[in-house]
């Protein structure tokens, strides 16, 4: 079904989505296909960020080399995560700086890698989506997407086109949720304090649903909200934009939604 | 040896900080005060970001030519009648300062706020040798009364509530009427002004830090709001400037660029109240000013940072914006970091100064949210440099064993895509069965650091890659 | 001490991989010091004379200074006397030997004038500014017998006379003026940039005026350019 001019997109689904919440991957694929892309999913594991941030550059490089090879054939590489897209587009070049063989390839991959929502709006020029979602939502700006990739207006723009949805801004939406990858486990107590501040502000919005663009942050916030007995439902923004909200929200059972 | 460090106990410090109600109340005020004020003045200056770039380039140029600018600076200070002393480490700097104080026959010295003074543990050394140091910055004065170190580089007493300060003033200022009203910050400020005014007039030596040193003119600069630094350096017979090597800038024009980003980033002011340029001692015909002007220039490990992966950190102008915007600093405050410099800048600098074996927690206790770098007036890539410390630790096998094994296991699979797909598919399938009804786990054996505080969302079932492959086969 | 100095420079040069004698580096440094290139100058620092004065006033007031305008140097003493009276302050005033201040008709007022440095017991003092910076409402004071530095910091109330002609737009405008007055590479012993009265927010981030320096800063802006120093 390849059509002349149809962009060929390699979906980098991210390890968390692959393992924990595949429905985000399908929502991403639908959004991309609706926007006229041909979506393919090459064999993949992880972007290597945990190793990179742990100071293990050798492992980070080995995993990155794997990703570079797997995604070479595509016009674009798109990830439903600012964090993983940022790892590829900002940090892969840093990992291979000075490597005559891999630096050009890392730079080439970096240049064609995007976070999902900003790819839809900034590259494909998507102005609106044909989705329906009844209720009030609030939105958390995940750190890597916001500060490494400048994602702020894009999700709000597309959410504005969802029928039935109204967005209430979250106070201090740009403040970290306290996830930080292994930080959340290594410094669980501090992470807990930070996420508790976040969930308190989420509560103040009175929104029924919390959205964000990174599953790591979403698991952290959902995990805290559920532990606190909150009724706020937590979803990846792509699920709402794709109109694919049949699956139970993050951290909720099949019946409870 | 410098100031005492509790950085190795960062986790315990943090644990206690999170349970300290006074501290948490005080930290609640830090957050919005600094952030909103900074944003408001930044919004009023469209050239702010261009000035950050300009400031960064000025410091990069200076650091690349630091030997030459230091030589020129030294020459200009001497021409103006001042003396320059070089100290390789904290001990040498303390010795030099004590020697100057002794020669001046000093009994008391007043002090302007100086982080370098904290870094070299100057007060304890002076006291042990019969010279009484009096901190004159209000915040520093308060923490000196409490025998504490600063918890913030520009607001040293930011961890205290006014009730705590009131009780310290009553404890120490016993010569004042015990029934006086000290319930408001203003009355505390007035009382400190009165007490310290006498100290300013009586001091034999005044010691200040320096925000900048200017090579063109041999000038040291202090930037303050209270005026204490100026009284410290104007009234006594001897003025000692204590500064580290990276405070250098080439010209008056260069420092003007950096001043524009300093006050805005630090306190959200367009300009601090007092920016004072000092060049040498009292001149013929001068009715006031010190008779001697000394500059002690400290290295203390900084020259080793030049030419390496931590050189960018030497651009730091100590504004505090990184900690003001740091979620970890907001949660635990400055003392938890366990040494002189807290927050993101401390997380990069402290391992350099006291060793990564002692300060290893600091660059690890970051979510890498990047907000520090986004507000840094000198555009220092703080997260990147914290990562460099993690790399050094990794190379030296300083990472705690469980974390190392966990990451190693994960890396083993992540480097083998076929095995990864097989294994994770099975693991997620069983986890999803276990967690299906509730959709989450209250505890998981391998993720106690997570589930102690929050639930862990259960996997939906089959992995995305497996489902996608199935879908493609069906199509 | 010599060895500490030598060691420090040797270590610096080792880290930078330089000897300190490279012609290109030396030339770069000499050029920068000689030419003192300008960086980014904010648009708000580049207004015309009227715009500069208006901005200076607005910024100084935003920093909690007060500003009175007078038409000529001769009008300064009456304006100062009125300010002190209006604020229920005693009719005393300390000043240095600045000829511009000395030439003003202080005898027309009932102010009790003291001269020279302050010993910390003065309520009111007056100085003449070297210049000012409109972009931030900043006064530029230079040390010396004309305007002793202690007057800027010890009295409770500091009054500063500023000639309108001396108000520059941007911070950088101070430096050519200073080099013209003192020579390239020279500075007064102390150059104080003052933006509003002293303050502290060290207690619970609550800002209060009058920390260790003056509690009030009053600027008398003289429109007549004749007194420009």
C90 with C163, same domain: the answer is yes
The number of angstroms, rounded, from the C-alpha of A87 to the middle of its chain's C-alpha atoms is 12
CB–CB contact B287 C136 (8 Å): no
C102 with C84, same domain: the answer is yes
B189 with B286, same domain: the answer is yes
- Nearest-CA distance B449 → chain A (Å): 4
Q: How many domains does chain C have?
A: 2
C90 with C181, same domain: the answer is yes
pLDDT tens-digit series, residues B203-240: 999 999 999 999 999 999 999 999 999 999 999 999 99
Q: What is the pLDDT of residue B29?
A: 85
Say if B243 is an interface residue toward chain C (CB within 8 Å): no
Name the A residues in 193-232 with CB < 8 Å from any B CB.
193-195, 197, 219-220, 222-224, 226-227
CA distance C133 to C125: 22
B124 with B265, same domain: the answer is yes
pLDDT tens-digit series, residues A87-142: 999 999 999 999 999 999 999 999 999 999 999 999 999 999 999 999 999 999 99
Average pLDDT over residues B330-355: 96
Q: Which residue has the tokens 């001046």?
A: B104
Q: What is the pLDDT of residue C2?
A: 59
Average pLDDT over residues A1-8: 73
Nearest to C9 among B67, B185, B286 (CB): B67
CB–CB contact B287 C213 (8 Å): no
| CB atoms closer than 10 angstroms to residue B186 | 14
B148 with B211, same domain: the answer is yes
Asked whether the predicted pLDDT for residue C114 surpasses 60, the reply is yes
Say if C149 is an interface residue toward chain B (CB within 8 Å): yes
Enumerate the residues of chain B whose CB falls inside 8 A of the CB of residue C145. 285-287
What are the Cα distances from residue A200, in Å, to A193, A203, A230, B457?
11, 5, 10, 20
B334 with B418, same domain: the answer is yes
Asked whether the predicted pLDDT for residue C43 surpasses 90, the reply is yes
Asked whether the predicted pLDDT for residue A210 surpasses 50, the reply is yes
Say if B152 is an interface residue toward chain C (CB within 8 Å): no
Quick one: DSSP state of residue C201? -
Question: For strand B219-224 and strand B274-278, is the pairing parallel, antiparallel, or unpaired?
Answer: antiparallel
C127 with C54, same domain: the answer is yes
Quick one: DSSP state of residue A138? E
Say if B186 is an interface residue toward chain C (CB within 8 Å): yes
Cα four-point dihedral sign B174, B179, B185, B187:
negative
pLDDT tens-digit series, residues B77-128: 999 999 999 999 999 999 999 999 999 999 999 999 999 999 999 999 999 9
C140 with C203, same domain: the answer is yes
Measured between CA atoms, the residue of chain A closest to residue B469 is A41
Grouping H, G, I as helix, E, B as strand and the rest as coil, residue C215 is coil
* H helix and E strand count, chain C: 7, 12
CB–CB contact A50 B15 (8 Å): no
CB–CB contact A50 B389 (8 Å): no
Q: How confident is the model at residue C205 (pLDDT cuts 50, 70, 90)?
A: confident
CATH of the domain at B191: 3.40.50.10420
Quote the tokens at residue A89. 């587009």
CA distance C115 to C110: 16
Q: Which residue has the tokens 């086109």?
A: A161
C118 with C224, same domain: the answer is yes
Q: How confident is the model at residue B287 (pLDDT cuts 50, 70, 90)?
A: very high
Grouping H, G, I as helix, E, B as strand and the rest as coil, residue C93 is strand
Say if B348 is an interface residue toward chain C (CB within 8 Å): no
Give the relative orientation of helices B162-172 and B185-202 as an angle to the nearest 10 degrees: 40
CA distance B409 to B417: 14
CA distance B357 to B99: 33
Q: What is the pLDDT of residue B214?
A: 98
**Residue where a domain terminates, one of B272, B298, B324:** B298
CATH of the domain at C81: 3.40.50.10420
B318 with B416, same domain: the answer is yes
CA distance A223 to B439: 10
Under 8 Å between Cβ of B330 and B275: no
Grouping H, G, I as helix, E, B as strand and the rest as coil, residue B312 is helix
Residues in chain C: 229
pLDDT tens-digit series, residues B249-279: 999 999 999 999 999 999 999 999 999 999 9
Quote the tokens at residue B158. 């930011």
CB–CB contact A195 B447 (8 Å): no
Under 8 Å between Cβ of B135 and B114: no
C52 with C124, same domain: the answer is yes
Residue B150 lies in a domain: yes
CB–CB contact C201 B225 (8 Å): yes
Residue B306 lies in a domain: no
CA distance C219 to C212: 19
B191 with B105, same domain: the answer is yes
Question: What does B125-170 look like in DSSP terms, one character per residue?
Answer: HHHHTT-EEEE-SHHHHHHHHTT---SSSS-TTTT--HHHHHHHHH
C21 with C123, same domain: the answer is no
Looking at chain C, which subunits does it touch, using at least 3 CB pairs closer than 8 Å as the criterion?
Answer: B
CB–CB contact C40 B157 (8 Å): no
Torsion of CA B419, B422, B427, B433, to 10 degrees: 180
Name the C residues in 57-96 with CB < 8 Å from any B CB.
59, 62-63, 96
Residue B51 lies in a domain: no
B135 phi and psi angles, rounded to 5 deg? -75, 135
What are the Cα distances from residue B154, in Å, to A257, B263, C205?
49, 11, 12
C141 with C49, same domain: the answer is yes
CA distance A193 to A5: 49
Nearest to A226 among B415, B440, B460 (CB): B440
Instruction: Give the DSSP H/E element, type plus range, for residue C216.
Output: strand C216-222
Under 8 Å between Cβ of A226 and A197: no
Average pLDDT over residues C109-123: 95
Say if B155 is an interface residue toward chain C (CB within 8 Å): yes
* Cβ contacts of C86 within 8 Å, gap of 6 or more: none
C131 with C68, same domain: the answer is yes
* H helix and E strand count, chain A: 15, 8
pLDDT tens-digit series, residues A240-249: 999 999 999 9
C and A touching (3 or more beta-carbon pairs closer than 8 Å): no
- Let me know if A181 is exposed, middle or buried by CB neighbors in 10 A (0-12, 13-18, 19+): middle
CA distance B79 to B283: 12
Q: How confident is the model at residue B383 (pLDDT cuts 50, 70, 90)?
A: very high
* Cβ contacts of A68 within 8 Å, gap of 6 or more: A92, A102, A105, A106, A109
CB–CB contact C204 B26 (8 Å): yes
**How does the average pLDDT of chain A come out, rounded?**
96
Cα four-point dihedral sign C122, C126, C129, C135:
positive
Q: How confident is the model at residue A3 (pLDDT cuts 50, 70, 90)?
A: low
Cα four-point dihedral sign A145, A146, A149, A150:
positive
pTM of the model: 0.95
Measured between CA atoms, the residue of chain B closest to residue C182 is B217
Q: Supply angle C-alpha C56, C62, C67, rounded to 5.
A: 55
Residue B249 lies in a domain: yes
Which of B33, B347, B372, B411 to mutate to probe the A interface, most A CBs <10 Å? B411
Measured between CA atoms, the residue of chain B closest to residue C64 is B273
The verdict on ipTM greater than 0.90 is yes
C93 with C198, same domain: the answer is yes
Enumerate the residues of chain C whose CB falls inside 8 A of the CB of residue B274. 192-195, 198, 213
Say if C131 is an interface residue toward chain B (CB within 8 Å): no
CB–CB contact B449 A176 (8 Å): no
Question: For strand B83-87 and strand B108-111, is the pairing parallel, antiparallel, or unpaired?
Answer: unpaired
B244 with B379, same domain: the answer is no
* Cβ contacts of A200 within 8 Å, gap of 6 or more: none
Residue B53 lies in a domain: no
Residue B52 lies in a domain: no
| CB atoms closer than 10 angstroms to residue A132 | 12
Enumerate the residues of chain B whose CB falls inside 8 A of the CB of residue A224. 453-455
- Nearest-CA distance B414 → chain A (Å): 5
Percent of chain A with pLDDT over 70: 97
CA distance B182 to C62: 29
Average pLDDT over residues B404-414: 86
pLDDT tens-digit series, residues A76-86: 999 999 999 99
Asked whether the predicted pLDDT for residue A228 surpasses 50, the reply is yes
CB–CB contact B303 C12 (8 Å): yes
B19 with B145, same domain: the answer is no
Q: Where are the alpha helices (DSSP H) in chain A?
A: 15-19, 22-34, 49-53, 57-70, 82-86, 92-95, 102-111, 116-118, 143, 149, 153-159, 183-186, 188-205, 215-227, 237-241
B264 phi and psi angles, rounded to 5 deg? -65, -40
Cα four-point dihedral sign C50, C55, C57, C60:
negative
Question: What does B424-437 look like in DSSP terms, one character per residue?
Answer: HHHHHHHHHHHHTT
B230: nearest Cα among B112, B82, B141: B112
Tally the C-alpha atoms within 13 A of residue C189's C-alpha that lie toward its C-beta. Answer: 28
Cα four-point dihedral sign C168, C173, C175, C180:
negative
CA distance B206 to B234: 8
Q: How many domains does chain B have?
A: 2
C18 with C121, same domain: the answer is no
CB–CB contact B226 C198 (8 Å): yes
Say if B279 is an interface residue toward chain C (CB within 8 Å): yes
Q: How confident is the model at residue B437 (pLDDT cuts 50, 70, 90)?
A: confident
Q: How confident is the model at residue A257 (pLDDT cuts 50, 70, 90)?
A: very low
Nearest to B436 among A53, A180, A254 (CB): A254
Q: What is the pLDDT of residue C228?
A: 41
Residue B267 lies in a domain: yes
CB–CB contact C210 B189 (8 Å): yes
Say if A17 is an interface residue toward chain B (CB within 8 Å): yes
Q: What is the pLDDT of residue A255?
A: 55
- Nearest-CA distance C131 → chain B (Å): 14
Q: Residue B223's beta-bridge partner residues?
A: B275
CB–CB contact B417 A66 (8 Å): yes
CA distance B424 to B446: 15
Q: What is the pLDDT of residue B404?
A: 82
**How does the average pLDDT of chain B come out, rounded?**
95
Q: Which residue has the tokens 């509690």?
A: C215
What are the Cα distances from residue C149, in Å, to B79, B238, C96?
21, 16, 10
**Residue where a domain terminates, one of B249, B269, B298:** B298
B403 with B289, same domain: the answer is no
Which of B328, B367, B410 to mutate to probe the A interface, most A CBs <10 Å? B367
Looking at chain A, which subunits does it touch, using at least 3 CB pairs closer than 8 Å as the criterion?
Answer: B
Asked whether the predicted pLDDT for residue C229 surpasses 60, the reply is no
B39 with B172, same domain: the answer is no
**Residue where a domain terminates, one of B267, B298, B329:** B298
Q: Residue B295's beta-bridge partner residues?
A: B84, B241
Asked whether the predicted pLDDT for residue C227 surpasses 50, the reply is no
B182 with B247, same domain: the answer is yes
Domain range for B291: 59-298
CB–CB contact A250 B457 (8 Å): yes
Q: What is the pLDDT of residue B434?
A: 87
Say if A9 is an interface residue toward chain B (CB within 8 Å): no
* Cβ contacts of B426 within 8 Å, gap of 6 or more: none
Question: For strand C131-133 and strand C138-142, is the pairing parallel, antiparallel, or unpaired?
Answer: antiparallel
The number of angstroms, rounded, from the C-alpha of B448 to the middle of its chain's C-alpha atoms is 32
- Nearest-CA distance C24 → chain B (Å): 11
Grouping H, G, I as helix, E, B as strand and the rest as coil, residue C74 is helix
Grouping H, G, I as helix, E, B as strand and the rest as coil, residue B475 is coil
Percent of chain B with pLDDT over 90: 86
CA distance B25 to B29: 7
What are the Cα distances from residue C151, in Å, to A101, A106, C44?
68, 63, 31
Tally the C-alpha atoms within 13 A of residue A13's C-alpha that lie toward its C-beta. Answer: 28
Side-by-side strand order, sheet with B108-111: B83-87, B292-298, B238-244, B205-208, B108-111, B132-135
CB–CB contact B399 A54 (8 Å): yes
Name the A residues in 39-68 with CB < 8 Å from any B CB.
41, 43-46, 48, 50-57, 59, 62-63, 66
Domain range for C104: 44-228
B154 with B125, same domain: the answer is yes
Say if B307 is an interface residue toward chain C (CB within 8 Å): yes
Residue B162 lies in a domain: yes
Side-by-side strand order, sheet with A113-115: A38-40, A8-11, A76-79, A113-115
């Amino acid at each position: 079904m390849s059509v002349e001019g149809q962009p060929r997109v390699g979906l980098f689904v991210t390890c968390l989505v692959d393992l924990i919440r595949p429905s985000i991957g399908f929502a991403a694929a639908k959004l991309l296909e609706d926007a006229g892309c041909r979506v393919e999913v090459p064999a993949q594991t992880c972007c290597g960020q945990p190793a990179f941030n742990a100071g293990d550059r050798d492992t980070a490089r080995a995993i990155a080399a794997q990703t570079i090879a797997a995604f070479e054939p595509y016009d674009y590489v798109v990830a439903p995560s600012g964090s993983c897209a940022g790892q590829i587009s900002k940090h892969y070049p840093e990992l291979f700086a000075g490597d005559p063989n891999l630096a050009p390839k890392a730079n080439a991959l970096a240049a064609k890698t995007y976070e999902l929502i900003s790819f839809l709006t900034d590259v494909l020029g998507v102005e609106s989506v044909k989705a329906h979602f009844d209720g009030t939502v609030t939105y958390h700006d995940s750190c890597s997407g916001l500060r490494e990739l400048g994602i702020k207006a894009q999700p709000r723009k597309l959410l504005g086109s969802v029928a039935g949805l109204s967005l209430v801004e979250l106070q201090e939406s740009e403040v970290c949720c306290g996830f930080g990858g292994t930080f959340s486990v290594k410094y669980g107590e501090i992470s807990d304090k930070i996420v508790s501040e976040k969930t308190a502000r989420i509560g103040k919005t009175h929104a029924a649903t919390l959205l964000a663009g990174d599953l790591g942050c979403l698991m952290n916030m959902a995990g805290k909200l559920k532990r606190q007995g909150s009724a706020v439902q937590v979803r990846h923004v792509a699920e709402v934009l794709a109109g694919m909200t049949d699956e139970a929200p993050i951290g909720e059972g099949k019946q409870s939604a | 040896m410098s100031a005492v460090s509790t950085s190795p106990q960062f986790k315990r410090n943090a644990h206690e900080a999170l349970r300290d109600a006074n501290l948490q109340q005080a930290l609640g005020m830090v957050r919005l005060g600094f952030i909103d004020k900074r944003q408001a003045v930044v919004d009023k200056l469209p050239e702010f970001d261009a000035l950050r770039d300009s400031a960064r380039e000025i410091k990069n140029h200076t650091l690349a030519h630091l030997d030459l600018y230091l030589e020129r600076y030294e020459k200009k200070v001497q021409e103006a009648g001042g003396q320059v002393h070089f100290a390789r480490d904290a001990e040498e700097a303390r010795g030099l300062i004590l020697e100057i104080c002794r020669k001046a026959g000093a009994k008391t010295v007043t002090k302007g706020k100086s982080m370098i003074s904290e870094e070299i543990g100057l007060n304890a050394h002076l006291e042990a040798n019969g010279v009484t140091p009096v901190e004159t910055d209000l915040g520093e004065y308060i923490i000196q009364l409490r025998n504490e170190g600063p918890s913030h580089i520009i607001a040293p007493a930011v961890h205290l509530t006014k009730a705590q300060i009131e009780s310290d003033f009553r404890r120490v200022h016993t010569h004042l009427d015990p029934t006086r009203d000290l319930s408001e910050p203003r009355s505390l400020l007035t009382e400190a002004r009165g007490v310290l005014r006498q100290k300013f007039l009586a001091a034999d030596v005044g010691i200040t830090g320096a925000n900048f040193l200017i090579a063109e003119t041999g000038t040291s600069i202090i930037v303050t709001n209270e005026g204490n630094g100026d009284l410290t350096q104007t009234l006594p017979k001897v003025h000692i400037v204590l500064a580290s090597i990276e405070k250098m800038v080439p010209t008056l024009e260069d420092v003007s660029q950096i001043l524009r980003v300093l006050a805005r980033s630090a306190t959200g002011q367009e300009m601090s109240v007092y920016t004072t340029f000092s060049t040498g001692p009292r001149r013929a015909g001068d009715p006031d000013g010190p008779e001697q002007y000394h500059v002690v220039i400290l290295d203390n490990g900084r020259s080793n940072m030049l030419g390496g992966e931590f050189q960018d950190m030497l651009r730091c102008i100590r504004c505090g914006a990184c900690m003001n915007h740091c979620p970890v600093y907001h949660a635990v405050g400055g003392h938890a970091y366990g040494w002189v410099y807290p927050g993101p800048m401390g997380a990069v600098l402290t391992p350099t100064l006291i060793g990564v074996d002692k300060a290893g927690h600091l660059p690890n206790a970051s979510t890498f949210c990047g907000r520090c770098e986004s507000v840094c007036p000198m555009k220092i890539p703080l997260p990147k440099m914290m990562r460099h410390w993690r790399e050094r630790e990794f190379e030296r096998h300083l990472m705690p064993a469980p974390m190392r094994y966990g990451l190693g296991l994960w890396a083993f699979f992540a480097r083998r895509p076929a095995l990864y797909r097989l294994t994770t598919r099975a693991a997620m399938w069983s986890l999803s069965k276990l967690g299906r009804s509730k959709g989450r786990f209250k505890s998981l054996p391998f993720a106690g650091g997570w589930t102690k505080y929050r639930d862990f969302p259960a996997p939906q079932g089959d992995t995305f890659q497996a489902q996608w492959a199935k879908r493609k086969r069906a199509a | 001490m010599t060895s500490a100095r030598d060691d420090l420079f040797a270590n610096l040069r080792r880290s930078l991989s330089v000897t300190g004698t490279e012609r290109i580096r030396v030339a770069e440094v000499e050029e920068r010091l000689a030419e003192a290139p300008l960086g980014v100058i904010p648009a708000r620092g580049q207004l015309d004379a009227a715009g500069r004065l208006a901005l200076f006033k607005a910024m100084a007031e935003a920093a909690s200074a007060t500003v009175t305008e007078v038409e000529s140097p001769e009008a300064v003493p009456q304006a100062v006397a009125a300010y002190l009276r209006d604020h229920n302050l005693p009719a005393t005033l300390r000043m240095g030997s600045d000829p511009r201040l000395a030439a003003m008709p202080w005898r027309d007022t009932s102010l009790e004038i003291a001269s020279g440095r302050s010993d910390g017991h003065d309520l009111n003092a007056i100085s003449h500014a070297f210049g000012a910076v409109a972009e931030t409402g900043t006064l530029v004071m230079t040390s010396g017998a004309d305007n002793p530095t202690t007057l800027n910091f010890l009295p409770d109330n500091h009054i500063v006379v500023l000639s309108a002609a001396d108000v520059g737009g941007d911070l950088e405008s101070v430096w050519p003026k200073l080099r013209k007055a003192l020579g390239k590479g020279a500075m007064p012993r102390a150059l104080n940039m003052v933006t509003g009265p002293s303050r502290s927010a060290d207690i619970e981030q609550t800002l209060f005026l009058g920390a260790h320096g003056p509690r009030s800063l009053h600027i008398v802006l003289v429109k007549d350019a004749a007194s420009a120093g």
